[in-house]
Amino acid sequence: MGLFKRQQIYINTDLQIKMSIFLIVIVTAEVIVFGGIFSYALSMSQKVTDNIYRFYVILLFSFVGITLLNIFLGVFLSHKIAGPIYAFEMRIKNITNGDISNFVDLRKGDMLRDFETSFNEMMHAVRKAVAKDRESLENAHKKILELNKKLDKLGAKKEADEIKAALKEISTEMKSITSFFKI
């Protein structure tokens, strides 16, 4: 456990501060609302001592209401994080299958926007590298074809055929190097 001990509490400061402020505001608002309801219910029950049942009903309904509000806010907030995570998961699965043609495009208001930028920059760099490799391989393939044509002109049939076969094998291997990726 000591090997993976966290050294830094704030990793993504902007995201963590936004979430902390959001939670503080929600809890503060709930305390104020619940306190107001509690004070009102308490004052009503003190005026009419035999109406204590009303006090508990008001408290119960306010507690249920605040709990439902918390559930709604929890789902809403988690969706702002879970949605982007799902989008990244789908892109990672595409990459695993060799498809590097797509970028991540998060909705307005989603969290993890910094990660989106970094991820898309990485994808751009990978696509650029694969395209450059393909271009180099295509140039090498063209040179192999030129060498094959020159061998045809030489006339040493047996040796030329052996060299051609070796060049064809090299060319086939070179084509398969980046064929896994879709850009």
pLDDT band, residue 183 (cuts 50/70/90): low
Kindly state whether residue 31 falls inside one of the protein's structural domains: yes
DSSP 7-34: --S-SSHHHHHHHHHHHHHHHHHHHHHH
Kindly state whether residue 170 falls inside one of the protein's structural domains: yes
Share of residues in the chain with pLDDT > 70 (%): 83
Overall number of domains in the chain: 2
Mean pLDDT of 10-34: 80
Q: CA Rg, the chain, in Å?
A: 33
- Picking from 1-15, 49-63, 136-150, 169-183, which range would have the lowest pLDDT averaged per residue? 1-15
Single residue among 64, 97, 130 that ends a domain in this structure: 97
Q: In terms of residue numbers, what domain contains 24?
A: 11-97
Q: Is the pLDDT of residue 145 over 70?
A: yes
> 123 and 139, same structural domain?
yes
pLDDT of the residue at 11: 63
The residues with which 182 forms a beta bridge, in sequence order, are: 99
> 87 and 128, same structural domain?
no
Kindly state whether residue 4 falls inside one of the protein's structural domains: no
pLDDT band, residue 39 (cuts 50/70/90): confident
CA dihedral 125, 127, 130, 132 (to 10 degrees): -70
> 172 and 141, same structural domain?
yes
Kindly state whether residue 71 falls inside one of the protein's structural domains: yes
> 87 and 122, same structural domain?
no
CA dist 177 and 183 (Å) reads 14
Kindly state whether residue 135 falls inside one of the protein's structural domains: yes
pLDDT of the residue at 1: 45
Q: What is the mean pLDDT of the chain?
A: 80
- pLDDT per residue over 42-87, tens digit each? 776 666 555 667 767 777 888 888 888 888 887 788 788 888 888 8
Kindly state whether residue 68 falls inside one of the protein's structural domains: yes
How many Cα atoms sit within 13 Å of 36 on the Cβ side? Answer: 6
pLDDT of the residue at 120: 95
Kindly state whether residue 3 falls inside one of the protein's structural domains: no
pLDDT band, residue 9 (cuts 50/70/90): low
Q: N- to C-terminal Cα distance for the chain?
A: 41
Please state, as a whole number, how many other Cβ atoms lie within 10 Å of the Cβ of residue 56: 11
Single residue among 81, 97, 113 that ends a domain in this structure: 97
Q: Is the pLDDT of residue 152 over 60?
A: yes
Q: Is the pLDDT of residue 3 over 60?
A: no
pLDDT of the residue at 121: 95
Contact by Cβ (8 Å): 154, 160:
yes
Please state, as a whole number, how many other Cβ atoms lie within 10 Å of the Cβ of residue 102: 14
Buried residues in 57-89 as b, exposed as e (16+ CB within 10 A): ebeeebeeebeeeeeeeeeeeeebeebbeebbe
